[in-house]
Amino acid sequence: MLLELGAPVAAGVLTLRNDDDVEAVVQTRVVRWSQSNGNDVFEPATDVVASPPSVTLAPRTDYVVRIVRVSKQPVAAEENYRVIVDQLPSAVRQQNRSVNVLIRQSIPVFFRAREFRPASVSWTLRREANKLVLTASNAGSEHLRIASLRVRNSAGATISYGNGLAGYVLGQSAKSWILPSHPAGFDVRGSMSIVAESNKGPVSAIAQSSDGLQ
Protein backbone atom coordinates (compact mmCIF):
# COMPACT_ATOMS: atom_id res chain seq x y z
CA MET A 1 0.00 0.00 0.00
CA LEU A 2 1.20 3.51 -0.82
CA LEU A 3 -0.20 6.94 -1.63
CA GLU A 4 1.04 9.11 -4.51
CA LEU A 5 -0.40 12.61 -4.91
CA GLY A 6 0.47 14.99 -7.73
CA ALA A 7 0.11 18.78 -7.46
CA PRO A 8 -2.23 20.55 -6.98
CA VAL A 9 -3.75 17.68 -4.97
CA ALA A 10 -2.90 18.20 -1.29
CA ALA A 11 -4.88 15.42 0.39
CA GLY A 12 -5.58 11.73 0.02
CA VAL A 13 -7.21 8.94 1.98
CA LEU A 14 -6.13 5.64 3.48
CA THR A 15 -8.68 2.98 4.33
CA LEU A 16 -8.10 1.07 7.56
CA ARG A 17 -9.96 -2.19 8.09
CA ASN A 18 -10.53 -4.16 11.27
CA ASP A 19 -10.95 -7.83 10.34
CA ASP A 20 -11.19 -8.92 13.97
CA ASP A 21 -14.28 -9.71 16.02
CA VAL A 22 -13.42 -7.10 18.67
CA GLU A 23 -12.84 -3.38 18.35
CA ALA A 24 -9.35 -2.10 17.56
CA VAL A 25 -7.81 1.21 18.61
CA VAL A 26 -5.24 2.62 16.20
CA GLN A 27 -3.03 5.69 16.27
CA THR A 28 -1.75 7.39 13.12
CA ARG A 29 1.15 9.81 12.73
CA VAL A 30 3.20 11.14 9.85
CA VAL A 31 7.00 11.22 9.62
CA ARG A 32 9.16 12.91 7.02
CA TRP A 33 11.25 10.37 5.12
CA SER A 34 14.71 11.02 3.72
CA GLN A 35 17.90 9.04 3.10
CA SER A 36 21.41 9.72 4.35
CA ASN A 37 24.53 7.62 3.76
CA GLY A 38 22.39 4.97 2.11
CA ASN A 39 20.02 4.59 5.06
CA ASP A 40 16.43 5.63 5.68
CA VAL A 41 15.95 8.57 8.06
CA PHE A 42 12.62 9.43 9.72
CA GLU A 43 11.75 12.69 11.49
CA PRO A 44 8.47 14.02 12.91
CA ALA A 45 6.47 15.91 10.28
CA THR A 46 4.42 19.06 10.84
CA ASP A 47 3.64 19.95 7.22
CA VAL A 48 1.63 16.75 6.61
CA VAL A 49 -0.90 15.40 9.12
CA ALA A 50 -3.19 12.41 9.53
CA SER A 51 -6.81 13.09 10.47
CA PRO A 52 -8.02 11.80 12.82
CA PRO A 53 -4.79 10.96 14.69
CA SER A 54 -6.50 8.12 16.54
CA VAL A 55 -9.64 6.10 15.97
CA THR A 56 -11.52 3.13 17.39
CA LEU A 57 -12.45 0.64 14.68
CA ALA A 58 -15.58 -1.40 15.25
CA PRO A 59 -15.31 -5.11 14.41
CA ARG A 60 -15.38 -5.99 10.70
CA THR A 61 -15.54 -2.38 9.55
CA ASP A 62 -13.56 0.07 7.42
CA TYR A 63 -12.52 3.58 8.42
CA VAL A 64 -11.06 6.34 6.27
CA VAL A 65 -8.10 8.41 7.46
CA ARG A 66 -7.27 11.61 5.56
CA ILE A 67 -3.64 12.50 4.85
CA VAL A 68 -3.38 16.27 4.38
CA ARG A 69 -0.46 18.45 3.34
CA VAL A 70 -1.07 21.58 5.41
CA SER A 71 2.04 23.47 4.29
CA LYS A 72 1.31 26.47 2.06
CA GLN A 73 4.70 26.18 0.36
CA PRO A 74 4.69 24.59 -3.11
CA VAL A 75 5.90 21.01 -3.34
CA ALA A 76 9.61 20.88 -4.13
CA ALA A 77 10.03 18.15 -6.78
CA GLU A 78 8.89 15.16 -4.69
CA GLU A 79 8.35 15.07 -0.94
CA ASN A 80 8.48 11.78 0.92
CA TYR A 81 6.61 10.77 4.05
CA ARG A 82 5.44 7.66 5.84
CA VAL A 83 2.20 7.23 7.73
CA ILE A 84 2.82 5.11 10.82
CA VAL A 85 -0.28 3.19 11.92
CA ASP A 86 0.06 1.67 15.39
CA GLN A 87 -2.48 -0.67 16.91
CA LEU A 88 -2.85 0.09 20.62
CA PRO A 89 -3.54 -2.47 23.37
CA SER A 90 -7.18 -3.56 23.49
CA ALA A 91 -9.04 -3.20 26.79
CA VAL A 92 -11.43 -5.93 25.68
CA ARG A 93 -8.59 -8.39 25.10
CA GLN A 94 -6.99 -7.44 28.41
CA GLN A 95 -10.26 -8.10 30.23
CA ASN A 96 -10.56 -11.47 28.49
CA ARG A 97 -6.88 -12.18 29.17
CA SER A 98 -6.35 -12.70 25.45
CA VAL A 99 -2.94 -12.24 23.85
CA ASN A 100 -2.51 -8.78 22.32
CA VAL A 101 -0.58 -9.01 19.04
CA LEU A 102 -0.05 -5.37 18.13
CA ILE A 103 0.46 -4.44 14.51
CA ARG A 104 2.44 -1.54 13.07
CA GLN A 105 2.19 -0.46 9.44
CA SER A 106 4.45 2.03 7.69
CA ILE A 107 2.80 3.38 4.54
CA PRO A 108 4.76 5.46 1.97
CA VAL A 109 3.22 8.78 0.92
CA PHE A 110 4.62 10.88 -1.94
CA PHE A 111 3.64 14.44 -2.87
CA ARG A 112 4.90 15.36 -6.34
CA ALA A 113 5.23 18.71 -8.08
CA ARG A 114 3.85 19.27 -11.57
CA GLU A 115 7.40 19.30 -12.91
CA PHE A 116 9.98 16.79 -11.75
CA ARG A 117 12.93 14.81 -13.06
CA PRO A 118 12.18 11.11 -13.53
CA ALA A 119 14.16 8.60 -11.50
CA SER A 120 17.64 7.96 -12.91
CA VAL A 121 19.54 5.38 -10.88
CA SER A 122 23.18 4.27 -11.10
CA TRP A 123 24.69 1.40 -9.13
CA THR A 124 28.06 1.06 -7.40
CA LEU A 125 29.76 -1.67 -5.39
CA ARG A 126 32.38 -0.96 -2.73
CA ARG A 127 34.17 -2.82 0.03
CA GLU A 128 33.52 -1.72 3.61
CA ALA A 129 35.45 -3.67 6.26
CA ASN A 130 34.61 -7.31 5.47
CA LYS A 131 31.37 -6.50 3.66
CA LEU A 132 30.39 -5.53 0.15
CA VAL A 133 28.02 -2.58 -0.08
CA LEU A 134 25.71 -2.21 -3.08
CA THR A 135 24.43 1.36 -3.51
CA ALA A 136 21.77 2.75 -5.83
CA SER A 137 22.11 6.52 -6.39
CA ASN A 138 19.18 8.44 -7.83
CA ALA A 139 19.99 11.58 -9.83
CA GLY A 140 16.30 12.24 -10.51
CA SER A 141 13.76 13.80 -8.17
CA GLU A 142 11.28 10.90 -8.37
CA HIS A 143 11.50 7.79 -6.17
CA LEU A 144 12.18 4.29 -7.51
CA ARG A 145 10.67 1.25 -5.80
CA ILE A 146 12.99 -1.80 -6.00
CA ALA A 147 11.80 -5.40 -5.68
CA SER A 148 13.16 -8.87 -6.54
CA LEU A 149 16.72 -7.52 -6.36
CA ARG A 150 19.51 -9.79 -7.62
CA VAL A 151 23.25 -9.34 -8.10
CA ARG A 152 24.88 -11.53 -10.74
CA ASN A 153 28.65 -11.90 -11.26
CA SER A 154 30.51 -12.45 -14.53
CA ALA A 155 30.29 -16.24 -14.08
CA GLY A 156 26.49 -16.10 -13.78
CA ALA A 157 26.30 -16.83 -10.04
CA THR A 158 23.56 -14.84 -8.29
CA ILE A 159 22.84 -13.37 -4.87
CA SER A 160 19.10 -12.87 -4.36
CA TYR A 161 17.29 -10.58 -1.95
CA GLY A 162 14.08 -12.52 -2.41
CA ASN A 163 11.05 -11.78 -4.54
CA GLY A 164 9.56 -9.08 -2.35
CA LEU A 165 10.27 -5.41 -1.74
CA ALA A 166 13.97 -4.56 -1.37
CA GLY A 167 13.47 -0.86 -0.68
CA TYR A 168 13.02 2.59 -2.17
CA VAL A 169 15.61 4.92 -3.69
CA LEU A 170 14.30 8.40 -3.00
CA GLY A 171 14.87 11.35 -5.32
CA GLN A 172 18.33 12.96 -5.10
CA SER A 173 19.28 10.24 -2.62
CA ALA A 174 20.97 6.86 -2.31
CA LYS A 175 19.98 3.51 -0.82
CA SER A 176 22.49 0.83 0.21
CA TRP A 177 22.30 -2.92 0.75
CA ILE A 178 24.95 -5.03 2.51
CA LEU A 179 26.29 -8.10 0.70
CA PRO A 180 28.41 -10.87 2.22
CA SER A 181 32.06 -10.27 1.35
CA HIS A 182 32.70 -13.68 -0.18
CA PRO A 183 29.55 -15.80 -0.44
CA ALA A 184 30.32 -19.44 -1.10
CA GLY A 185 30.97 -19.95 -4.79
CA PHE A 186 30.45 -16.28 -5.61
CA ASP A 187 33.39 -14.59 -7.38
CA VAL A 188 33.42 -10.85 -6.71
CA ARG A 189 35.97 -10.08 -9.44
CA GLY A 190 34.87 -8.42 -12.66
CA SER A 191 31.61 -6.63 -13.42
CA MET A 192 28.39 -7.21 -11.50
CA SER A 193 24.97 -7.17 -13.14
CA ILE A 194 21.94 -5.82 -11.30
CA VAL A 195 18.53 -7.31 -12.07
CA ALA A 196 15.35 -6.16 -10.33
CA GLU A 197 11.75 -5.11 -10.74
CA SER A 198 10.62 -1.55 -10.11
CA ASN A 199 7.55 0.67 -10.28
CA LYS A 200 8.96 1.87 -13.63
CA GLY A 201 9.51 -1.59 -15.08
CA PRO A 202 12.38 -4.12 -15.15
CA VAL A 203 15.83 -2.97 -14.00
CA SER A 204 18.95 -4.24 -15.76
CA ALA A 205 22.21 -2.44 -14.99
CA ILE A 206 25.92 -2.85 -14.31
CA ALA A 207 27.28 -2.03 -10.86
CA GLN A 208 30.49 -0.01 -11.13
CA SER A 209 33.23 -0.68 -8.60
CA SER A 210 34.03 2.43 -6.60
CA ASP A 211 37.26 1.10 -5.08
CA GLY A 212 38.75 -1.34 -7.57
CA LEU A 213 37.38 -4.57 -6.14
CA GLN A 214 39.52 -7.58 -6.94
Instruction: Report the pLDDT value the prediction gives residue 157, as an integer from 0 to 100.
Output: 83
Percent of the chain with pLDDT over 90: 67
In the CATH scheme, what is the homologous superfamily, with its name and number, of domain 121-209? Immunoglobulins (2.60.40.10)
| Section 156-164 average pLDDT | 86
Instruction: Report the pLDDT value the prediction gives residue 183, as an integer from 0 to 100.
Output: 64
Spatial separation of the C-alpha atoms in residues 213 and 132, rounded to whole Å: 9
The CATH class of the 3-112 domain is mainly beta
Which of 20-29, 33-42, 87-96, 106-115 shows the lowest mean pLDDT across its residues? 87-96
Same fold yes or no, 3-112 and 121-209 = yes
Model-wide pTM > 0.75: yes
Residues 6 or more apart whose Cβ sits within 8 Å of residue 45: 30, 31, 32, 81
Surface-to-core class of residue 166, CB atoms within 10 Å of its CB (0-12 exposed, 13-18 middle, 19+ buried): buried
Residue 32 pLDDT > 80, yes or no?
Answer: yes
Spatial separation of the C-alpha atoms in residues 204 and 30, rounded to whole Å: 34
Spatial separation of the C-alpha atoms in residues 18 and 59, rounded to whole Å: 6
Residue 155 pLDDT level (bands cut at 50, 70, 90):
confident
Bridge partners, residue 5, by sequence: 111
Closest of 155, 142, 28 to residue 82, by C-alpha = 28
Residue 41 pLDDT > 90, yes or no?
Answer: yes
| pLDDT top residue among 44 and 129 | 44
Q: What is the identity of the amino acid at 151?
A: V
- Continuous segment of H or E residues that includes residue 43: strand 39-44
Instruction: Report the pLDDT value the prediction gives residue 154, as an integer from 0 to 100.
Output: 82
Domain extents in the chain: 3-112, 121-209
| Section 30-50 average pLDDT | 97
Which of 57-61, 180-184, 207-211 shows the lowest mean pLDDT across its residues? 180-184
Closest of 46, 177, 181, 165 to residue 108, by C-alpha = 165
- pLDDT tens column, 113-124: 999 999 999 999
Instruction: Report the pLDDT value the prediction gives residue 95, as an integer from 0 to 100.
Output: 61
Spatial separation of the C-alpha atoms in residues 106 and 84, rounded to whole Å: 5
**Torsions phi, psi of 99, nearest 5?**
-75, 130
**Torsions phi, psi of 20, nearest 5?**
-90, 170
